[in-house]
Amino acid sequence: MPNLADGLLWYLAFLFSTVVHEAAHAFAAMKLGDRTAYEGGQVSLDPVAHIRREPIGTVVVPILSYLAGGWMIGWASAPYDPVWARTYPERSAVMALAGPLANLFIVIAVGLLIHAGIALDLLYRPHSINFSHIVGASHGGMLVGGGTFLSILFSLNVLLFAFNLMPVPPLDGSGAVPLLLSRERATAYMDFIHGNQLSFLGILIAWKAFDYLFGPIQLFFINLMYPGCGYH
């Protein structure tokens, strides 16, 4: 039976990371001329607006996946105007990149918090690591939960950053491709990837490939945070 206290930490990390990701998409779209998500309430860090839009992906699936396997998956979404996206493919591409870049920002911020905790002798570098244990607590009590939360938040946002950048629809990486294309080719490309028949296949391909990719990517970020430690 999964630990329910850890489950709460997982859910807080998942919900915060997902909300920041979608709010970044929505904010970028608003600034670039599409107010669809803004009018839907998604330009906000208030999780209620995002839960209301995707209750299955933000509540039901994360909880069930944790109870079943001890880790969480789920999703949220921010609406956008496809006519706007087709008219301005470069702006749409920037909007697509905003979500993963927000997750990268969280990774950097958590890394700085971990280093601050180590400098204050509140946290320490563990001898071995896993997804939910990349930093340990020097003392007991609430610091143990804090170390676990920071570990999950770091690893989860590395995952969200890297997974969403994979260039297969419907992931954000596929939406960023128009930055590399001419206007005419970008428009044709967007018409192609917006076919719903590609979404399921894209998720399946990305999920299978990411099984092999995530381990090395996570180690890269951890060794970047802990230079010279040589985790493997």
Q: DSSP letter string over 1-26?
A: ---HHHHHHHHHHHHHHHHHHHHHHH
What is the Cβ-side half-sphere exposure of residue 55, based on CA atoms within 13 angstroms?
Answer: 1
Strands 136-137 and 123-124: antiparallel
Report d(CA 113, CA 135) in Å as an integer.
11
User: How do the pLDDT tens digits run along the chain, 232 residues long?
Assistant: 678 889 999 999 999 999 999 999 999 999 999 999 999 999 999 999 999 999 999 999 999 999 999 899 999 999 999 999 999 999 999 999 999 999 999 999 999 999 999 999 999 999 999 999 999 999 888 899 999 999 999 999 999 999 999 998 889 999 999 999 998 899 888 888 876 566 677 778 888 888 899 999 999 999 999 998 888 8
Give residue 205's pLDDT. Answer: 83
Domain-located, residue 151: yes
Give residue 206's pLDDT. Answer: 82
Domain-located, residue 115: yes
Number of domains in the chain: 1
Q: Which tokens go with 27?
A: 């904010």
Domain-located, residue 209: yes
Give residue 116's pLDDT. Answer: 98
Give residue 207's pLDDT. Answer: 81
Report d(CA 133, CA 111) in Å as an integer.
13
What range defines the domain where residue 100 resides?
4-225
- DSSP per position, 109-151: HHHHHHHHHHHTTSEE--SS-BTTBSSEESSSTHHHHHHHHHH
Give residue 1's pLDDT. Answer: 63
Domain-located, residue 231: no
